[in-house]
């Protein structure tokens, strides 16, 4: 998995780039990064303008717009509770989006596509840190297997189109992400934004304690979404290969340490209580980021700085609601 000739990968800053899912956590960060890097012809569509689960609508869009590059950041995402409650939605909607976008991108002349997945594609008990070669070597974490299977299918679809059609489709697998435009829904959010909202609301209401699921012992790696966006643009410009590429921070923290950090940043002064009757999820998940590091990319935003910036955004966002 190595970058190919730089001249062959050169991306014209005026080329049409379709960012699918531009209103989400990842897509919005990718758009910010592309604009700051000087890209001037970014194509965006909201869900109401283009439903990516409808094949005919996606085909029509590609036949008219004919983008040269596609960054596929659109997905149905959520935490343990959401995956357990809506398993059919998680597998079906993600498979529909991926299949429609990847196939139409190829058939309507897109030069290069980047598919974005998730670190949940790896086996629950994979050796740590998890390298790209760990894919499909063991059972998945059952709490999010529906989403994970859809994302694995996306990777394999990109590889299949590269093998059969010699088409430049690449995949990047981010670790746990956070940042502006994250989902802060009380039931469907991932762990960091869920903690941030709960501590903030507890502070505002004057609550004496916040109860958090699990034991706090699982270890997690977190990457600020602006770092991911920087890596996405880097890979678009510098990588073309069959294998997917991990994108992470290379640093891990326990959920307990994370909760204490978020509690401190938010300024909640009550008690933090752990509910051990609730599931923890995967015990440890640290990505091996050596492939990306060898290509020349490293993250820049520390967890503390990222949490502070995200909370500032969240407070501003909630005041506007």
CB atoms within 10 A of CB 102: 23
CA 30 – CA 36 distance, rounded (Å):
10
- E strands in 276-317: 284-285
- E strands in 124-238: 168-174, 176-178, 209-213, 219-224
Active-site annotation holder among 147, 161, 239, 314:
147
CA 221 – CA 128 distance, rounded (Å):
12
CA 312 – CA 306 distance, rounded (Å):
10
Residue 311 annotated to the active site: no
Nearest Cα to Cα of residue 24 among 145, 116, 144, 156: 116
CA 265 – CA 115 distance, rounded (Å):
33
Nearest Cα to Cα of residue 226 among 169, 154, 305, 317: 305
Nearest Cα to Cα of residue 233 among 112, 100, 102: 112
Check residue 285 and report its DSSP letter. Answer: E
Nearest Cα to Cα of residue 157 among 97, 77, 83, 73: 97
Active site residues per annotation:
147
């Amino acid at each position: 998995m190595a970058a190919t000739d730089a001249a062959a990968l050169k991306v014209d800053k005026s080329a049409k780039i379709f960012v699918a899912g531009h209103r989400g956590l990842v897509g919005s960060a990718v758009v910010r990064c592309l604009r700051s890097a000087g890209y001037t012809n970014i194509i965006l569509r909201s869900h109401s303008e283009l439903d990516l689960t409808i094949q005919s609508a996606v085909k029509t869009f590609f036949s008219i717009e004919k983008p040269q590059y596609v960054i596929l950041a659109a997905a149905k995402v959520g935490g343990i509770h959401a995956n357990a409650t809506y398993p059919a939605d998680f597998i079906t909607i993600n498979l529909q989006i991926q299949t429609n976008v990847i196939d139409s991108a190829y058939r309507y002349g897109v030069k290069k596509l980047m598919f974005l997945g998730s670190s949940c594609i790896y086996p629950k008990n994979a050796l740590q840190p998890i390298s790209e070669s760990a894919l499909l070597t063991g059972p998945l974490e059952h709490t999010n297997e529906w989403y994970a299977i859809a994302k694995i299918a996306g990777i394999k679809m990109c590889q299949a189109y590269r093998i059969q059609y010699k088409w430049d489709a690449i995949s990047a697998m981010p670790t746990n992400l956070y940042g502006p435009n994250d989902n802060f829904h009380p039931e469907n959010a991932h762990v960091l934004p869920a903690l941030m909202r709960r501590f903030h609301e507890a502070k505002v209401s004057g609550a004496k304690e916040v109860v958090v699921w699990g034991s706090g012992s699982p270890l997690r790696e977190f990457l600020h979404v602006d770092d991911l966006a920087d890596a996405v643009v880097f890979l678009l410009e510098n990588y073309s290969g069959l294998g997917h590429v991990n994108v992470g921070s290379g640093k891990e923290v326990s959920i307990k340490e994370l909760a204490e950090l978020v509690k401190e940043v938010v300024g909640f002064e009550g008690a933090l209580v752990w509910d051990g009757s609730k599931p923890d999820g995967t015990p440890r998940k640290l990505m091996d980021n050596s492939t990306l590091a060898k290509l020349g990319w490293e993250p820049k935003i520390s967890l503390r700085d990222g949490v502070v910036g995200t909370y500032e955004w969240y407070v501003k966002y909630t005041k506007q609601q």
